[in-house]
Amino acid sequence: MESKAKTQSPLQEKETQAAQVDIWKYVFAFTPMAVLKCAIELQISETVESHGGSITLPELSVALHCSSSALHRIMRYLIYHGFFKQTRIIRDDESSLCYTQTPHSRLLLKDGMAGLILLESSPVMLAPWHGLSGRAMLKGSYPFEAAHGGVDVWKYAAANPDHSKLINDAMACHARLAVSAIVDRYPEAFEGISSLVDVGGGDGTALNALVKACPWIRGVNYDLPHVISVAPHREGVEHVGGDMFKMVPKGDAAFLMWVLHDWSDEECIQILRNCMEAIPRDKGKVIIVEAVVEVGEGFDDYSEVRTVLHMVMTAHTERGKERTCKEWRHLLNEAGLTKHTQKHIKAIVSVIEAYP
């Protein structure tokens, strides 16, 4: 009897096999985040670093008070993905296999990108992803609010100090990376500025780094009162609590980094108008540090991450989004900022300078 089953061409079989391999990766796509969170919580990178940059499995097991069997599995996974290397070294005339740091593993240190991983892998931030399909429905709910009793991420943080600290630590983590990139690749942005207001500046990490790099600047770190209340003292930085939707403190320039993408166009326009009222008409400017989504040509190493940020905004905010050049131009024009420039700095963010 002749089979009715459809046969695939060699090319179709190859494509199907490749698709299955990819889907298997998505089936277990949560694994990298979970293992990195585990490595950070166990302080594996700090422990390797404290042992001179190399350590054996028995030494690591003792130092971390961990099962050597479980630790071996974790380290094998991390090595496969470029976090740590395993090398053979000679100690006391004996050869030993040791784990050593890599550029990836060093980013798991406290002053690397650990804060971002710990925030996004927290139960609070993971729960909304399970409601993403609801957001897509015509009468759907917002995932974060649906997962957390109807409050948005900011009200939740205000009522939960531990989660607020996770947010502040993550934003400080991003601030160190972004400010370093700006200062190294576009220091001209801060020339001629004697006072700078960091609107939504968190614990002041970004402004502290800017003031150190540009000591002629007097910094004002402006954020919600519950954020400012736990912000550490920083030389050259004045902490001020308030609401950016109502007013912004006076300064030569207003600085907004990873703030506007959390809000709708209307809310962004209100924030920008308040910033414009706070700066001098003749020489003031608003410095915006945000992802700029390219369309068509112009993709770079961070293009995929920016598409992921689109989905993060969808899951975690009610009206936030990443924007294209055209969308940024619309916001600035509506806010009354008549001209602007945009500078790519080989980072996930770009620098937009807008003028009255």
Same domain (yes/no): 99, 135? no
163, 174, 239, 261: the catalytic one is 261
Q: Where among 106, 136, 158 does a domain terminate?
A: 106
pLDDT digits (tens, 9 = 90+) for 158-203: 999 999 999 999 999 999 999 999 999 999 999 999 999 999 999 9
Q: Are residues 59 and 87 in the same domain?
A: yes
pLDDT band at 1; cut points 50, 70, 90: very low
d(CA 197, CA 248): 8
Residue 169 resides in a domain: yes
What residues contact 153, with CB distance under 8 A and at least 6 apart?
144, 167, 316, 317
| Last residue in a domain, options 106, 131, 166 | 106
- What is the rounded distance in angstroms from the CA atom of residue 240 to the CA atom of residue 231? 10
pLDDT of residue 140: 73
Q: Which one-letter amino acid corresponds to residue 146?
A: A
pLDDT in tens, 288-345: 999 998 765 556 788 888 889 989 999 999 889 999 999 999 999 999 998 999 999 9
Which domain covers residue 273, as residue numbers? 114-355
Mean pLDDT (the chain) is 91
Question: Are 90 and 155 part of one and the same domain?
Answer: no
Residues 80 and 190 in one domain: no
Specify whether 127 is located in the same domain as 54. Answer: no
Q: Based on the structure, what is the number of domains in the chain? A: 2
274-302 residue pLDDT tens: 999 999 998 999 999 999 987 655 567 88
Q: Is the residue at 9 inside a domain? A: no
Same domain (yes/no): 227, 280: yes
Whole-number percent of the chain with pLDDT over 90: 77
Based on the fold, state whether residues 291 and 351 are members of the same structural domain.
yes
How far apart CA 208 and CA 203 sit, in angstroms, is 9
Q: Could you confirm whether 340 is annotated as catalytic? A: no
The answer to whether residues 86 and 126 belong to one domain is no
Residues 215 and 257 in one domain: yes
Last residue of a domain, one of 106, 126, 143: 106
If asked whether residues 325 and 258 sit together in one domain, one would say: yes
Compute the average pLDDT of residues 79-94: 85
Measure CA 69 to chain center.
Answer: 33
Query: In this structure, are 75 and 181 located in the same domain?
Result: no
**For residues 249-263, average pLDDT:** 96
Total-model pTM: 0.87
User: Does the pLDDT of residue 6 top 80, yes or no?
Assistant: no
Q: Would you say residue 341 lies in a domain?
A: yes
**Which CATH number covers residue 82?**
1.10.10.10
